[in-house]
Structure 1
Amino acid sequence: MKLQPKKSIYEYFSELEDPRVDRTKRHQLIDIIIITICAVICGADTWVDIEAYGESKYEWLKSF
């Protein structure tokens, strides 16, 4: 079995098609996915928790 090259989280999820309507997009889909993954790893259980995590880590997250 041949191993495939590893992709970063960004590379893997950036290939997803964004089903949202363009005029309603406030954030890039990849940003939402990355924030969600980080928030869940840190214990977020709901979308409200994920939003709170994103807001509390805003300065840190925008450094990427």
Structure 2
Amino acid sequence: MTLMEHLSVVKETRSDTHRQYDLIDVIFLVISAIMAGAEGWQDIETYGNAKIKWLRTYRPFLSGIPCRHTIAR
């Protein structure tokens, strides 16, 4: 089973209100950034902004990269 297949079974529990970023996009961003050495929310946001083109080869990231506060939530 691929990483994306594993992530696709994660249950969405967030409220529909203010849900701008796809949950799987956010989880994929966090996993990728941590594997690349990110150590905090700011590092994850910075990584995402630097690697958006690469990230989009795997996921759409239609709303772009979330800010560090959104990632932390």
TM-score using structure 1 length: 0.79
- The count of aligned residue pairs is 58
Using the TM superposition, give the Cα deviation of residue 57 of structure 1 relative to its aligned residue in structure 2, in angstroms: 0.7
| 1:31 equivalent in alignment to 2:20 | no
Sequence identity of aligned pairs in percent?
36
Where in structure 2 are there 5+ consecutive unaligned residues? Answer: 59-73
Matches within 5 A, 1:1-64: 7-64=1-58
Q: Relative contact order: is structure 1 or structure 2 higher (C-alpha 8 Å, sep ≥ 6)?
A: 2
Runs of 4+ in 1 over 4 A off after TM superposition: none
Based on CA coordinates, which of the two structures has the bigger radius of gyration? 1
Structure with greater helix percent: 1
Q: How far did residue 21 of structure 1 move? A: 1.2
What is aligned with 2:69?
Answer: none
Number of the residue aligned with 1:4: none
- The runs of 5 or more residues in structure 1 that have no matched partner are 1-6
TM-score normalised by length of structure 2? 0.71
